[in-house]
Amino acid sequence: MKLGIVGLPNVGKSTLFNSLTKAGAESANYPFCTIDPNVGVVTVPDERLNVLGEMYHTKKIIPAAIEFVDIAGLVKGASKGEGLGNQFLANIREVDAIVHVVRCFEDSNIVHVDGSIDPLRDIETINLELIFSDIEILERRIAKAARAARNDKAIAKEVALMEKIKAHLEEGKMAKSFEDIADDEEAEWLCGYNLLTYKPVIFAANVLEDDLADDGAGNEKVQAVRDYAAREKSEVFVVCAQIEQEIAELDDDEKKMFLEDLGLSESGLEKLIKASYRILGLISYLTAGEPEVRAWTIKEGTKAPQAAGKIHTDFERGFIRAEIVSYTDLMECGTYAAAREKGLVRLEGKEYVVQDGDIILFRFNV
């Protein structure tokens, strides 16, 4: 999974990135301190892996991973070259979802690029830059295909679709709200354009420490972001980037105590991972044995052969069956042998839809 982090300068974007990835991206109290896109890979916390590791006396534990791309702070006019310009938007075209950091706190020591704190205005500013960038992409595609469209009905159909999407964007609307899709072919084309405004969005409402305990319930700016996100079918999580940076320096036991002192049950990273799995419709299945215990991320609704293909294409091509026990059943039985005796280890075929927490051994023949 790959997430792109965007936001205006000085909203806490690079501070959050640093704390999530411990990659040390430069963070300073002025715009454009991130000159190149920073990339960091974060492992997905999953206590199930450690439990299975002990049960199987495994040599190696491999969690799922998320790649974060931190983009330089955008400003009004970025798509026309203002600030650091539109070049950075290209860096998030390949991400699965966008994490939009929005400042929901007042602090006279940290300047805001627009002089005041207004999260909905900030969201609109970023959205417009993403829209302008998408319009530019479509204009190029249309210009390239226009001549061929005169003699090719399929290309003409696609050009007509691009024109409709472009008109939709020019009304200030996001591509994900475009619904004038005639068939599966057009839906596939729209997905293939990799438009920024078609990607799922997770809003990170950045607050001060005092707003963390009640998850921002008493913060009007956070509520405004939540109301907006609900209309847009987006996810929101409340985070204090500064606190996350402090947490990032602690070991697991210290981190747990620190969070308890703050009245929190999970870190911002854990909130973000849950939000990203929800909005992208992802789950994890597990493989376990002495060589390694590993988590594999797949889309909800994935059938067994395609899940096997995540490990290796040969597994999918030569799929015979899957031997499966749920993590919950295995924990209740205590051992794999006990789960088998109780009939909780199942053999499933090609039509089986993999569930979150399934522990799977694939049988295949190539």
* 274 annotated among ligand-binding-site residues: no
Is 14 annotated among the ligand-binding residues? yes
> Which of 348, 265, 340, 346 is CA-nearest to residue 302?
348
Decide: helix, strand or coil at residue 140. helix
d(CA 57, CA 42): 24
12 is in an annotated binding site: yes
Cα separation, 209 vs 106, in Å, equals 12
The answer to whether the annotation marks 11 as part of a ligand binding site is: yes
Identify residue 337 by its one-letter amino acid code: A
User: Is 365 marked as binding a ligand?
Assistant: no
Tokens found for residue 94: 């390949």
CB 200 within 8 A of CB 207: no
- C-alpha 236/C-alpha 271 separation (Å) is 9
* CA–CA distance, 344 with 346 (Å, rounded to integer): 6
Neighbour count for residue 321 (Cβ, 10 Å): 17
The answer to whether 18 is a known ligand-binding residue is no
Q: Which residues are annotated as a binding site for ATP?
A: 10-15
Q: Which residues are annotated as a binding site?
A: 10-15
